[in-house]
Amino acid sequence: TQTSWGYSKENGPDRWHESYPIAKGNNQSPVAILTKDVYKDPILLPWFTSYDPGAAKNILNNGRTVRVAFDDTFDRSVLRGGPLQGIYRLRQLHIHWGSTDDRGSEHVVDLTRHAGEIHIVHWSTKYSNYGDALKKPDGVAVLAILLQVGKTLKPEMKRIVEEIDAIKTKGKEAPFPNFDPSILFPQNRSYFTYQGSFTTPPCEECVTWIIMKEPIIVSADQMAKLRSLSSKTADELHCPLVDNWRPLQPLNNRMIRSPCQ
């Protein structure tokens, strides 16, 4: 029987293109960012969010990540500005992380791979729904936040980590009411931006990436909780859900930009 995609040897990133040929496209993510090569673009603006905590719906372990879903049936929680034209509606957030602190992030900045990366996913309301937006080069905008392990004063990840016991195994879902993802933002809103793709199959090339320069700090305990999730269902043997990150993809002809301010 056909095994579906994942992160192991048999079904991992090196094989995704067999079922999803765009995974070998010219605009794939993630990429290495070298600050010395980043174009300081005077036309780039600050970005803004307006999130309604009431839009948060539930939290799910899908066996590949932990994902929080938001109500996107109207302009309730939105992202605008930065490199974007128009309004982008909040759809979901999810996390990529490693088995150890020296890996887990997808984007690499100046040769540093962080312990994890949060993706806050939005879609352009110039398209009629999320599915349509995925087919357009400017359909999706992702705010990416890098995770660094350390001593934390501001426990941004607390709400998500608290819910992990309720979604230990693949397929488990729990209500996740009243959550504002802007608590996850670092203090400094400065960013890198480039055009890329989903980092999971089918790896559609529809993403404007907005990557925060400043990481947020998560505690070793919080990372341990993430790593205690299982990528298998409750009736299967426990298998830690870790290393759900895609390796670096070629930058090709793309430019990475950052604002001047």
Applying CB under 5 A, which residues contact Zn ion? 119, 199
- Residue 142 as a binder of ligand GRE (CB under 6 A): the answer is yes
**Which one of residues 115, 121, 160, 216 is an interface residue with ligand GRE (CB under 6 A)?**
121
Name the one range near ligand GRE by CB under 6 A: 42-50, 79-87, 164-172, 199-207: 199-207
> Nearest residue by C-beta to Zn ion?
119
Cis omega (within 30 of 0) on the bond before 240?
no
Q: List, in sequence order, every residue forming a beta bridge with 192; answer none if it has no partner.
A: 211
- Residue 230 as a binder of ligand GRE (CB under 6 A): the answer is no
Q: Find out whether 224 and 164 touch, Cβ atoms under 8 Å.
A: no
Indicate the DSSP class of residue 253.
T
- Nearest 5°: the CA angle 48, 53, 56 is 110
- Nearest 5°: the CA angle 240, 173, 19 is 65
Size of the site for ligand GRE (CB under 6 A): 9
- Residue 119 as a binder of ligand GRE (CB under 6 A): the answer is yes
In whole angstroms, how close is the CB of 105 to ligand GRE at the nearest point? 11
- Residue 207 as a binder of ligand GRE (CB under 6 A): the answer is yes
Which helix (H) or strand (E) covers residue 198, if one does?
A: none
Cβ proximity to ligand GRE, 156 vs 204, nearer residue: 204
Name the one range near ligand GRE by CB under 6 A: 13-21, 43-51, 97-105, 197-205: 197-205
Cβ proximity to ligand GRE, 86 vs 178, nearer residue: 86
Q: Find out whether 208 and 85 touch, Cβ atoms under 8 Å.
A: no
Cβ proximity to ligand GRE, 139 vs 215, nearer residue: 139
Residue 55's binding partner among ligand GRE, Zn ion, none (Cβ under 5 to 8 angstroms by kind) is none
- Residue 109 as a binder of ligand GRE (CB under 6 A): the answer is no
Pick left, alpha or beta for residue 178 (phi over 0 → left; psi -120 to 50 → alpha; otherwise beta): left
- Residue 28 as a binder of ligand GRE (CB under 6 A): the answer is no
Residue with tokens 């999130």: 51
Cβ proximity to Zn ion, 119 vs 189, nearer residue: 119
Its sign, for the CA torsion 91, 140, 3, 248, is negative
C-alpha–C-alpha distance, residues 158 and 216, integer Å:
13
- Residue 199 as a binder of ligand GRE (CB under 6 A): the answer is yes
Q: Find out whether 66 and 60 touch, Cβ atoms under 8 Å.
A: yes
